[in-house]
Amino acid sequence: MKISCQYNNAVFIHADGVMHRCCYIPADTYKPIDRKTYDTHLMLNQYNVSDTHNLLKLPAGSIIELSKTSEFFEALEESWKDDRPPTVCVKNCGIKTSGHDIDDT
């Protein structure tokens, strides 16, 4: 599955102050953990994004540094090269690479 990120090099700041790659990722955090959201929850917890990317808890100007050198963002983009990128990315920014429709399962 190829990913064509709709937020290419942009950031999204959620109402709770956490900076994300896009609005789709934090949307998954408010959904129950199931097979469609599990990988999003896992990655956010692995990088402790609720603290490490919370602009309300970080020094002024952190948004500039985080947008350039975020381990979370780098890992997310690296995952797009894998056979199974995060479901949230596939569902919202996946593009067809064959005659089959995007698999939303």
Strand 12-13, strand 94-95: pairing: unpaired
Indicate whether 100 belongs to any domain.
no
**Percent above pLDDT 70 for the chain:** 90
| pLDDT score, position 85 | 87
Indicate whether 37 belongs to any domain.
yes
Indicate whether 15 belongs to any domain.
yes
CA distances from 35 to 10, 32, 38 (A): 27, 10, 5
**Structural domains in the chain (count):** 1
What is the span of the domain harbouring residue 53?
7-83
Indicate whether 98 belongs to any domain.
no
Indicate whether 19 belongs to any domain.
yes
Q: 53: burial class by Cβ within 10 Å (0-12, 13-18, 19+)?
A: buried
Indicate whether 2 belongs to any domain.
no
Query: Does residue 100 have a pLDDT over 60?
Result: no
| Greatest alpha-carbon span in the chain | 48
Indicate whether 90 belongs to any domain.
no
Mean pLDDT across the chain, nearest whole number?
87
Q: What is the pLDDT of residues 55-74, one digit of tens each?
A: 999 999 999 999 888 999 99
Indicate whether 26 belongs to any domain.
yes
